[in-house]
Amino acid sequence: MRAGRLLQVLMLLQGEGRMSATRIAEKMGVSVRTVHRDIEELSASGVPVVAERGATGGFTLLEGWRTRLTGLTPIEATVMSSLPDSWQADARRVASRFHLDPVGWYRAPARADHLAAVADAVWKERRLKIRYDSWKGVSERTIEPLGLVLKGGEWYAVAQTKKGVATYKVANIQAVERSGGTFKRPARFDLGQHWTESIERFEAGLYRGTAVVRASALGLRRLKLLSDAVGKAVERAPEKVDARGWLEVTIPIESVEHAAMELLKVGAECDVVEPKELREKMTGMASELAAIYRPRARGRTTTR
């Protein structure tokens, strides 16, 4: 009984972050005195529980510490703690058999300090007031979180606002507080469908032009790695092969400058046909690179 309770305290602290003894007692259905005894026992066993005094204080785990009992990272524990109790056993069973690593190679996981608060608001349909850092600057907003999306190692909150449904990068949320009250989730809102459509709208606005290129089989494989939109264009391209066996493809581009930088990744396995401005840009960049990497003449030394 005691071991199970200690594990529950540990999961709460790892999942929700700083918690007061009163809050822990309410979650577990025990007395505050019992919570203090359990905290003391965890500390004695080597768990780095930090006690913070003051009105906003409470108990928290040392930042960066990860429990060997659960094997969960802080973000995983955050999401786990926000799940309804009836789902947690199934979630742990699945997690013991499948591991998903959404972070790209050579990248560190993105910080998501307020993920627990947003996840809790999603489940309980609570309004939040957030301080958000966007490209326009820092501002305060009131949102009604409808769901969370993990894409490319980053967490995004999809939320209802006065102006409609918007997307917020969780890492850019600087502060969170409950604005009071709950909201009614739209009955027909489909998170997956909304996300797919919003990505399509974003990409449609992002790619403002097209370019015609010819590429070898290797070049086509490299083109597919540039973006989903370019990859789809390659897949849809008609089998129009030239004498060299190269395929002609029309791909979407953001701008001449951006396209030139991207197409450099394909190397000599791709030839720009049009627009003329992009071909000239590629020619200029290739000349600059050739000048930098041209073999240098070795100076002669004489011996007296």
Judged by average pLDDT, the poorest of 176-180, 260-264, 291-295, 298-302 is 298-302
Select from 251, 263, 260 the least CA-distant residue to 208.
251
**Mean pLDDT confidence for 213-229:** 93
Q: Which of 49-58, 118-127, 131-140, 276-285 has the highest mean pLDDT?
A: 276-285
- What is the architecture, at CATH level 2, of domain 115-201? Roll (2.30)
The band of 69, judged by pLDDT with boundaries at 50, 70 and 90, is very low
Q: Is the pLDDT of residue 44 over 70?
A: yes
Q: Could you read off the pLDDT of 230-252 as tens digits, one per residue?
A: 999 999 998 878 889 999 999 99
- HSE-CB for 133 with a 13 A CA cutoff: 6
Percent of the chain at pLDDT > 70 equals 82
CA–CA dist 47, 275 (Å, integer): 63
- Whether 230 and 223 have beta carbons less than 8 Å apart is answered as yes
Global pTM exceeds 0.85? no
Q: What is the mean pLDDT of the chain?
A: 83
Q: Per-domain residue ranges for the chain?
A: 2-95, 115-201, 207-293
Non-local (6+) Cβ contacts of 288 within 8 A are none
User: Which pLDDT band, with edges at 50, 70 and 90, does 68 fall under?
Assistant: very low
CATH of 2-95, one of 1.10.287.130, 1.10.10.10, 3.40.50.2300, 3.40.50.720: 1.10.10.10
DSSP 203: H
CB atoms within 10 A of CB 157: 27
On whether the 207-293 domain is CATH 3.30.70, my answer is yes
Work out the number of other CB atoms within 10 angstroms of the CB of residue 246: 19
Q: Is the pLDDT of residue 95 over 90?
A: no
